[in-house]
Amino acid sequence: MTQKQRVDLIEQYIRAHRYADLHSLARRFATSLSTVRRALDELEERGILRRHHGGASLIETDELNREYDFIARDQRMADEKFAIASLIAERVEPGMTVILDGGTSTYAVARLLTGRRLQVVTNSLPIAALFGEVGSVETIVTGGSVYSRVGVLVGPLCEQSLANIHADLAILGSAGITAAGVWNHNALIVSAQRRMIAAAERSLFALDHTKFGRKALALTCPFDPRMTIVTDTLPASDVVGAIETAGARLTLTKPSGTTRTGTAGASSPARKPIAPRRNRS
């Protein structure tokens, strides 16, 4: 097979699936990772795809599709996501078993965990590819059907594998947060996230302020005492009140890099400090 033929086949595959990781392409086309990288570089130069760590995604021109494109979303609110991810990564201790879902916010956390000694369970193909190339993380990938727009595994096989594990932490993203709880766009993703929450001792949600007040297709879960919301700005008072009533926790980033943490008290939009409290097990 010539290089041009190989590039054409890879282009066809990515146009059909919208996302592909390096290892899958190398296996599918029986070639080396370096050859796949050269093919992806050529396709990126032609404006067909975006390269990123571990793979590539099709460039979408339709705005609705861009909402689901992994890389398009990964580039939004990058500074806020990094600050939130840094706080969450501080909660992850060596030897833990951690579940990571398939959002771009959790991918930002994964980047900060590559040097840790951990067990990670994920349904995210980008996260699995990241840990497969670098770091010392033992990675367990769920089964399931590929939801290619965001590069995640979903469905009955995914949920069955999550039902049979126990984790110290589940780290998740969301499409929105209201006083009712956290929301997501896709019913299959929501179902997988509920399994992740049930399998873990505690759940950490990474949510930047653009998710405030947004509902999506389905409510992933209401607030509960095992949940922590990590975000960059104080939410509206009704959301703060709902978090407090449920016994959940709220952790905020600050421009200086310090944090405020504790139960969500009756703080005003002026962002008064939140009273600290002990962690719950």
The residue ranges of every structural domain in the chain are: 3-59, 74-263
CA distance 56 to 174: 23
Residue 261 CB neighbours (<10 A)? 16
Quote the pLDDT of residue 48.
Answer: 86
CA distance 265 to 30: 57
Q: Crossing angle of helices 104-111/125-133, nearest 10°?
A: 10
pTM given for the model: 0.68
Highest CATH level, class, for 3-59: mainly alpha
Query: Across the chain, what does the average pLDDT equal?
Result: 83
DSSP 60: P
Quote the pLDDT of residue 145.
Answer: 93
CA distance 20 to 9: 12
Closest by CA position to 52, among listed 20, 15, 86, 25: 20
Q: Does domain 74-263 have CATH number 3.40.50.1360?
A: yes
pLDDT surpassing 70 at residue 263? no
